[in-house]
Chain A
Amino acid sequence: MPEPKTVSSVPPPLVALAGWVVPGAGYFLIGHKTRALVVLVTIMLLFLGGMLIGGVRVVDAPNLRGSGSIGYEIAQKPWFIGQVLAGPISLVGAAVSRHFPASHARVFEIGTLYTAVAGMLNLMALIDSAHRAARGDVR
């Protein structure tokens, strides 16, 4: 007879939020510590690897105080939508990057790709951790 699953005491939205603040923290909250470590290390390596390849300027936030509408400004820098999903590190990167010149051509594109993919993978991980919390997959 299978054991009844315990229901997580941590609300799924909090698990998702923790997963955004620190990649893998959502898994950590529900007791999947090794999985949390794997996600944290991999996403951080991808994000930092992207900044190493293309320079910190690959994290380029839209100027929300610009002359265009917010939608227009975001559409000018669509990769930042993916990058910001990697957590506050993207916001720090965007704040720092304004002080440095941008790289160009292929290395810039590869760096942008790395950082945006890291963010999108973190989105997948935080959705999964919140889903596991909701269905009681707690250890």
Chain B
Amino acid sequence: MNLVSLCFPCILAYTPFVDPLPVWDVWYLTLVPLTVGIAVVYKAVKCNEVSQIPKQAAVISLYILGGLLGAALGLWAVVSWIS
């Protein structure tokens, strides 16, 4: 057993594209690249000028993430109030 496998047994056990990414505790962060991807393709389709895509995609990404955060906070408040 070499030094690397002693120090990083979890990393060596992980095989990309075969094993799932260990993001169980921070799964909500995966929403960010998904949101950005949706916004970029949506704006690539909608914008007549390609130069507008980055700015408009950034704006719509913030809107979507803000909406998701608002919905999460609203649901958290309702659940807290009920329980």
Contact = CB atoms under 8 A, between A and B. Distances in A.
A53 B30 contact: yes
A73 interface: no
B24 A52 contact: no
Nearest to A38: B44
A45 B37 contact: yes
A136 interface: no
A54 B17 CA distance: 8
Interface of A: 32, 34-35, 38-39, 42-43, 45-46, 49, 51-56, 100, 103, 105-108, 110-111, 113-114, 117-118, 121, 124-125, 128
A121 B37 contact: yes
B44 A107 contact: no
A106 B29 CA distance: 13
Interface in B28-56: 30, 33-34, 37-38, 40-42, 44-45, 50, 53
B18 A55 contact: yes
A90 B53 CA distance: 27
A114 B50 contact: no
A107 B21 contact: yes
Contacts of B30: 53, 110, 114
A134 to B, nearest CB: 15
Contacts of A39: 41, 44
Nearest to B19: A55
B9 interface: no
Contacts of A103: 19-20
Nearest to B36: A42
